Chain A
Amino acid sequence: MLKPIRRALAIDANLLQLVLLVLLIFALMTALVPDKFLRPYNLISITYIAPELGLLAIAMMVAMLTGGIDLSVIGIANLGGILAGLFFHAYGGTRGSGLAAMGALPVGAGIAIAVATGLVAGAANGLLISRLRITPILATLGSGQVFTGIALVLTGGPAIVGFPDGWTMIGNGAIAGVAVPLLVLLALAGAVALLLGRTAFGISLVLIGTNPKAAVFAGLRTRRALLLTYVLTGGLASVAGILLSGRTNAAKSDYGISYLLQAVLIAVLGGTDPAGGRGSVAGVIVALLALMLLASGMQLMRFSNFLVDAVWGVFLLASIALNAWRTRPR
């Protein structure tokens, strides 16, 4: 009886540590670049850039919860954006008012195309992993190549530029002063948190990740649960693709490659155990906030983007070391 309680406390301790980290980074950056860091513009721009990465990190966390990983999220995100872009260009022309002032219906169809792409691609991953029992690293490594490859063949290389205004609203717009991407992230994060914490499906994912054999013997339909897991990660990735192409008004087969590492980093830093069984949406969101503040502060201090990447890598290793130290056998 004590175990679940202790477990809940352990997750809270981790979350508390993360919140402290956020405050620490915030204080540090405020002290180092006081005039620029606290400007509303800087903080608001984070609410536009962070959500796409946050969705990818949540997807990564969900896959890791079952003991797997999804390395194809970037490929799925780009493929979804490109297919929607090709649809818009076929429907409204490649430029001009026919494209820009497209009605709500075709824009909705574009969103449906992108999300459907994510769900189908995720189902393909799920079938490879649950039916053919390919290990998730290799299955998603290979399928990610195929998705990126399809995007490359469809576009021939260059970016698809020019999306309808309704589409770019999703990436750049604001409702009541709040960035639309942030609203999308909060809505989906809330939905995933409910799914994981309050439904039988969510509990079964944690059980599969904790002990796959026991999950089978307990009568869980592990294959179906794994399939649905990757359908879910594919769907989340495709929404990230909508936000990315909406924000930049373009879609390309090799956009956002560095997001892969960052998504893994945020998931792990957020307290997700890559071996499965432990992870929470709240942890991912706080970790996302910590890293976005850090990156933004470093950019204001004129650190090159490469150094920011290096610091993210060091952060990943440091969070591993910290976790190992905290859970060391005593």
Chain B
Amino acid sequence: MSFLSLRRSETVIALVLIAAMVLIGLINPAFWSLSNLFSLARSNVIVGLMALGVLVVMISGGIDVSFPAFAVAAMYLTIQAMLAWDWHGVIGPFALASAIGLALGLVNAFFVSGLRMIPLIVTLGTAAAVRGALLGLVGTSQINIDRMPKELIAFGNTTLIDLAGPGGTHFGLSAMIVAYLLAAVLVHLFLTRTLLGRGVFALGSAAEAARRVGFNPTTIVFAVYGLAGALAGFAGLLHGSMIWLANPRDFVGVELDVIAAVVLGGASIFGGRGSVLGTMLGVFMLVMVSNSLILMHIATTWQRIVVGGIIITATTVTALRDRRQIAQ
């Protein structure tokens, strides 16, 4: 299969993406300015990290709508812990946030695998329970920049390239995209080069066949939801570090954008299909379109219509594609 074949959904998305970039650039040349491109790259990080987790869940034949709740819980609890214990550092807190996400993800896996319940219902329930408990028991007040741990702010503020803009301002390429790219490579290697990763595809394509050739569905389901939870926890704390703010009401409705991006990237909600590259392209497409509405002189109130339209278009295309393949 050639890399540039039109039968690869990644190639198609890449072509659509390029066409969209040219179009936006024609409407407003400011799109191609370095500061806009850098800010676009930065906006990819959080959505992208979450999308990698959703991708793995979706390939296994499941779905997850609880990750934004897990992300916000991991972020808020970790930062509260840092403030309460006067705890400093960067690696430790990120490990804690990922561990919180992992633990919550395993709860999802328990309900999905142990009790054989539809993932959408399970994750709706865990999302409500976690979000409600966080706001009801831990707190509703946001932690502003004056109380945010300095190390996290400094970390989130790291840049790869730093340029001087007009009027003495600075803009740079956030180093956080390295974290995103690293996670993407690791998830790609997990999915394509490990036995467990191949098991994720097997389970999503044909659960019974996967069981008969010796894959353990329980292990796979726990790995998949655990990974999605851990990625969400990590992304949550990273989000807090990048915006210098810990808001326990953050990430409301993000699940729609992330699921849209993953579906746009060619993953099938029925499982068994999807790739890291496609997902990254899907995330880029979605982030670019919603960020460029202002550049295209469209009111931001149109954003939800655009996102919804993207979901419907992408699912229609994949549904037609899947049907054609069945027909062949």
Contact B126 A146 (CB under 8 A): no
Give Cα A306 to B129, complex, Å: 9
Residues of A within 8 A of B270 (CB): 135
Q: Digit string of A201-220 for contact with B (CB within 8 Å is 1, else 0)?
A: 00000000000000000000
Q: A307-B132, A324-B116, A324-B117 are in contact. Are A317 and B316 (CB under 8 A)?
A: no
Q: Give Cα A69 to B119, complex, Å.
A: 13
* Nearest CB in chain B to that of A321: its residue: B115
- Contact: A152 with B63, CB < 8 Å? no
**Is A275 a contact partner of B124 (Cβ separation < 8 A)?**
no
Cβ of B315 < 8 Å from any Cβ of A?
yes
User: Chain B's nearest CB lies how many Å from the CB of A132?
Assistant: 5
Q: Is the CB of A137 within 8 A of B120?
A: yes
The 0/1 profile, CB within 8 Å of A marked 1, for residues 104-116 of chain B is 0000000100111
Interface majority SS (helix, strand, loop, mixed), chain B? helix
The answer to whether A153 and B115 touch across the interface, beta carbons within 8 angstroms, is no
CB within 8 A of A156: which of B121, B124, B136, B301? B301
Interface size on A, residues (CB 8 A): 46
On whether A146 and B115 interact (CB within 8 A), knowing A264-B121, A310-B128, A313-B125, the answer reads no
A68 to B320, CA, bound (A): 19
Instruction: Give the contacting residue for A317; candidates B111, B132, B299, B319; CB below 8 A.
Output: B111
A142 touches B301 (CB 8 A): no
B137: chain A residues at CB < 8 Å are 307, 310
Main secondary structure of the interface of A (DSSP, over half): helix
User: A134 — which chain B residues lie within 8 A by C-beta?
Assistant: 312, 315-316, 319
The residue that A143 contacts in the complex, of B126, B130, B133, B312, with Cβ under 8 A, is B312
Q: Which residues from chain B contact A147 at a C-beta distance below 8 Å?
A: 308
A317 and B122 contacting across the interface, CB-CB below 8 Å = yes
The residues of B that contact A313 with a CB separation of less than 8 Å are 124-132
- Taking a contact as CB atoms closer than 8 A, the residue among B63, B121, B256, B303 that contacts A274 in the complex is B121
Find residues 276-328 in chain B having any chain A CB closer than 8 Å to their own CB.
299, 301-312, 315-316, 319-320, 323
Asked if A304 is at the interface of the complex by the 8 Å CB criterion, the answer is yes
Known pairs A133-B323, A313-B125, A320-B111; A128 contacts B305 (CB<8 A): no
Given contacts A139-B315, A265-B125, A304-B136, contact A153 B305 (CB under 8 A): yes
Instruction: Give the Cβ gap from A262 to chain B, nearest Cβ, in Å.
Output: 9
A268 within 8 Å of B (CB atoms): yes
For B131, list chain A residues within 8 Å (CB): 306, 309-310, 313
User: Lowest 4 CB-CB distances: which A-B pairs, in order?
Assistant: A310-B132, A145-B308, A313-B128, A142-B311
**Contact residues of A with B, CB < 8 Å?**
69, 128, 132-135, 137-139, 141-150, 152-153, 156-157, 261, 264-265, 268, 274-275, 303-314, 316-317, 320-321, 324
23 contacts between A and B (CB under 8 A): A128-B312, A134-B319, A142-B260, A145-B256, A145-B304, A145-B308, A146-B312, A147-B308, A149-B303, A149-B305, A153-B299, A261-B124, A265-B124, A275-B118, A305-B136, A307-B136, A308-B132, A310-B130, A310-B133, A313-B124, A313-B126, A313-B132, A324-B117
